[in-house]
Amino acid sequence: MEPKPALEPKPSPGPKPEPTFADIVARVKPSVVTIRTESGSSGSGFVIDSRKALIATNRHVIAGAQKITVCFHDGISPAESLQAGVKLIHATADIAIIQVKLGRKLPPALCIGKTDVMREGEDVFTIGSPGGIGRVLEQTVTKGIISSAQRKVENTTCFQIDAPVNPGNSG
């Protein structure tokens, strides 16, 4: 009987590398949607609750709309569109929560971060659908930095970024 060769020890796994910018974009992008209305206006939004089918966007994206269509780009099915209804509007903050009429599984919800831990100079990115009537550039990514972490605008504390944001990125 021949002796069995000794097993070589497996190297212990090191710390997991930090995700790259491209890794983060790939993880977030499926949860970003394009929103269209019957008037031809469009904007962007993102999933905030997959189970309840809730999408956050800006109020001005859907203002006055009788018909709201949400287009998903998550690879589950090719650019599938579903109807949505308004669930909540905060006019002063220009925020709207819409609810998709379920007919499919939604991509994962995105977490809304804490603004008190943001620092000037940190990298940020936007994913949206800039463009206008007839020509929307869906799922466009832009990158920038936080220019100001504590900018006062009309009694509201905001953060300012230098990433290019165009009409249609709203949401």
Tell me the DSSP string of 6-20: PPPPPPPP-PPPPPP
What is the reported pTM?
A: 0.84
Mark whether 123 is an active-site residue.
no
Are the C-beta atoms of 28 and 128 separated by less than 8 Å? no
Active-site residue (options: 41, 42, 129, 170): 170
Mark whether 60 is an active-site residue.
yes
Q: What are the pLDDT digits (tens) for 42-97?
A: 999 999 999 999 999 999 999 999 999 999 987 665 567 889 999 999 998 899 99
Domains of the chain listed by start with CATH number: 21-161 (2.40.10.120)
Question: What is the C-alpha R_g of the chain?
Answer: 21
What is the C-alpha separation between 152 and 160, in angstroms, rounded?
Answer: 10
